Amino acid sequence: MIPSLQPHPCWRKSSYSADQGSCVEVAAVHPEVTWLKSSYSGDQGSCVEVACPEGGVAVRDSKDPDGAVLVFDRPPWNSFLDVVRRGALEHG
């Protein structure tokens, strides 16, 4: 079984957030999740790491492994990867 965000993630939002749904919520990523980085990254430390906990894809900055983690649902993440693979984000 792939480690999840937590057995039952405890999502939290700021006490300053109104009940209008326009806020950011956070949950902890399971500490045993395996983080991966691209083989193209080298050892400069300027890359992102990706983990695949149950229920999503987690992304963090390799320079700050204890810092913020973004978690995406798989369909939007897969769409992002498709755009990257097609080179649609290339700057010309």
Average pLDDT value over all residues in the chain: 75
pLDDT digits (tens, 9 = 90+) for 22-32: 666 666 667 77
Would you list the domain boundaries of the chain? 46-92
Which distant-in-sequence residues (6+ apart) come within 8 Å of 37 by Cβ? Answer: 47, 48, 49, 50, 62
pTM of the model: 0.63
> How confident is the model at residue 6, as a pLDDT?
45
Q: Which two tokens stand for residue 87?
A: 């080179």
Sign of the torsion angle spanned by Cα atoms 56, 1, 51, 30: positive
